[in-house]
Amino acid sequence: MSNLARRKLINNAMTALTGLCALFAVASLFFILGYIFWGGVRGLSLGFLINSPKPIGEPDSGIANAIVGSVILITLGSLIGMPVGILGGIYLSEFGSNKFGLLLRFLIDTLTGTPSIIIGVFVWTVMVHPMGHFSALSGGVALGIMMMPIVARTTEEMIRLVPHSLREAGLALGAPRWRVTLGVVLRTAASGVATGAMLAIARIAGETAPLLFTALGLNYLSTNLLQPMASLTFQIYYYAQSPYEEWHDMAWAATLVLVTMILVLNIVVKILTRNRHQQA
Amino acid sequence: MGSTLAGEGSATPLTPNKSPLRFGRAVSGLRIRPRIGDPLFKWATGFFAVLIAGLAVLIMVEMAINSKLPIAKFGFGFLTRSVWDPVAEQFGALPFVYGTAVSAVIALLISVPISLGVAIFLVEKAPRRLSNPIMFIVQLLAAIPSVVFGLWAIFVLAPMLRNHLYPALQSSLGFLPLFRGNQNGLGLLTAGLILSIMVLPIITAVTTDVLRAVPGTQREAALALGSTKWEATLIVLQNARSGISGAIILGLGRAIGETMAVTMVIGNRPQISASLFDPSFTIASAIANEFTEASGDIYLQSLIELGLILFFVTFIINMLARLLVWSVTRGEGRGAHV
């Protein structure tokens, strides 16, 4: 075989090989999603969504406690994580172009990269241990801490995208800097900040590890923030580890609910951001 | 915070108010109020930025304080001891360090070639029409929660491995101690395999960013000299190598910190065994599995010290990765997906 033919052959082989890799990545998502769908759709019913768990063998068992618990925990986490994250992100973008800003960014990125189980242990040591019992509140704090660095960094990036001329126009009208930042810059970046926040919610909605030692889990419906609380992710973990076939089916159905929620959030964000790019 | 034209109009860095001709004042004749809005704003937002950054430091301090007992009792020997006996209150981190390292290495051995392949395909081969949706699908893979991967691994992956791959590995490579022993499907190799799927998106995403940051002129120059497209790609890879190493190290950081999926399939036994089929433990899965059941202060604090080790390792890994990725993409003005 001539040298050129050999080189061309290698070229085509590598194109095919990288294409196969991409096919593998795409296929593995659909493979997993397929199992979740077929595994979960059997156990899914209205009763499953609106009933609380019942003892093994009784019909009409459900995961209402976990759905309500997840919504409460995620709301708590967002209430704690979002304001802090957005305000921190504003500081980074407006006043953070110096050494101090670099240090802050470095530490914030460190927090992003910290394994979620460690956040759980940390909240256990500062909240659960002193209070003496597991609580939904501490779970919310753990999720909030996970959200803060993500929201801060996306807010910063979104604000940096706002054209400088807008800022200057505001200042030229005589408005003080804080009004320009909040009323013009942040408002212009609002949709970007909102999509960033949605992604952060999608991220914490799937977290289990920070809840293991904070919110723990609970087998009945509760809205008491000072008591343990159920969550979809914990319930899936708990059911999957159990020896009961019936609970395995419930774990699959709960997974279908959770994954649908998270994928919908991600797809909505994708659609929103695509429209923005088209307008720009 | 009533801001009048006269009062705060000059509160911008763009208009230094040294000039005697101060328009607003001359026109309205209002008294100039002290401009407290801007400093207040800076301090208030700064407080929250420092709060987030401070949490990273606080986590480290808090965990160090709460692992005093084992640090005092075992010292640095904690890292090299291989006993983990809660009854005798003897604790050592070696089995967990071993499990963490081996499962992460297995994950990288599998996911790195595939991730690089996907990234090369997306940047160098595929048209935008194809690469955008594929990229989105890879992102969705990253959005699937860890516990869901765990569930799938217990009920789908582990039985498949137990019935097909592991017997085949044993019959063909069984002369190696790595592939011997019981095969109930839950063990180190299974954990490594599920981790490889989980770190694939992050390595792919960062490598894609890095490859996109390599100037197109390099590809054009290589092509103009008569190289094939693949040979041009090799040159691009050559120039992006530090960024690609950063992407791989970032994947390593994810693999090491991953908790739920690993806990569900690794078998949870603190042992160092030559066989990859055997149950093991990672640092993260040990904490997840034993923390709420730990009785006795030194047991609990030994688990927290494991967490401290995990924190330090991921800290160093992430820092290194960010530096490497940044060295390639800094001109792009976009952050790495850290």
pLDDT 10s per residue in chain B (338 long)?
344 444 444 444 444 444 444 444 444 555 556 678 888 999 999 999 999 999 999 999 999 999 999 999 999 999 999 999 999 999 999 999 999 999 999 999 999 999 999 999 999 988 888 999 999 999 999 999 999 999 999 999 999 999 999 888 888 888 888 888 777 889 999 999 999 999 999 999 999 999 999 999 999 999 999 999 999 999 999 989 999 999 999 999 999 999 999 999 999 889 898 889 999 999 999 999 999 888 889 999 999 999 999 999 999 999 999 899 888 877 554 444 44
Q: How far apart are CA A262 and CA B142, in angstroms?
A: 11
The pLDDT of residue B331: 59
The pLDDT of residue B273: 87
CA distances B333 to A157, A230, B213, B238, B330, Å, are 10, 42, 10, 22, 6
Angle at A85 between CA A100 and CA B34, to 5 degrees: 65
Mention every residue, 6+ apart, whose C-beta is less than 8 A from residue A96.
A102, A104, A105, A156, B49
Q: Is the pLDDT at A182 greater than 70, yes or no? A: yes
**Residues of chain A contacting B319 with CB distance shorter than 8 Å:** 106, 110
Instruction: Considering only the beta carbons, identify the residue of A179, A213, A233 that sits closest to B3.
Output: A179
Q: Is the dihedral of CA A164, A170, A171, A173 positive or negative?
A: positive
Look at residue B280 and give its three-state secondary structure: strand
Q: Are B166 and B185 a contacting pair, CB within 8 Å?
A: yes
A8, A11, A84, A117: which to substitute to probe chain B, counting the most B Cβ within 10 Å?
A117
CATH 2.40.50.140 matches B69-332? no
Amino acid at B229: K
What are residue B91's phi and psi, to 5 degrees?
Answer: -130, 140
Instruction: Considering only the beta carbons, identify the residue of A121, A236, A266 that sits closest to B304.
Output: A121
Q: How far apart are CA B214 and CA B207, in angstroms?
A: 11
The pLDDT of residue B332: 53
Q: How far apart are CA B154 and CA B186, in angstroms?
A: 8
A128 touches chain B (CB under 8 A): no
Give me the mean pLDDT over the A92-115 stretch: 93
β-strand partners of B84:
B91
Mention every residue, 6+ apart, whose C-beta is less than 8 A from residue A118.
B59, B63, B257, B307, B310, B311
The pLDDT of residue B128: 86
Look at residue B267 and give its three-state secondary structure: strand
B147, B152, B332: which to substitute to probe chain A, counting the most A Cβ within 10 Å?
B147
CB atoms within 10 A of CB B135: 22
Q: How far apart are CA B306 and CA B313, in angstroms?
A: 11
Q: Are A145 and A125 a contacting pair, CB within 8 Å?
A: no
pTM of the model: 0.89
Q: Is the pLDDT at A80 greater than 80, yes or no? A: yes
B26 touches chain A (CB under 8 A): no
Amino acid at B115: S
Instruction: Considering only the beta carbons, identify the residue of A19, A28, A111 that sits closest to B56.
Output: A111
Give residue A194's pLDDT band: very low, low, confident or very high (50, 70, 90).
very high
Q: How far apart are CA B122 and CA B139, in angstroms?
A: 13
What are residue B280's phi and psi, to 5 degrees?
Answer: -150, -160
Instruction: Considering only the beta carbons, identify the residue of B44, B125, B141 that sits closest to A18.
Output: B125
The pLDDT of residue B174: 83
**Residues of chain A contacting B151 with CB distance shorter than 8 Å:** 236, 240, 251-252, 255
CA distances A166 to A112, A225, B8, Å, are 31, 44, 19
Give the residue from chain B lying closest to A35, CA to CA.
B152
Could you tell me what percent of chain A has a pLDDT over 90?
Answer: 80
Give me the mean pLDDT over the A34-49 stretch: 92
A238 touches chain B (CB under 8 A): no
A145 touches chain B (CB under 8 A): yes
End-to-end C-alpha distance for chain B, whole angstroms: 39
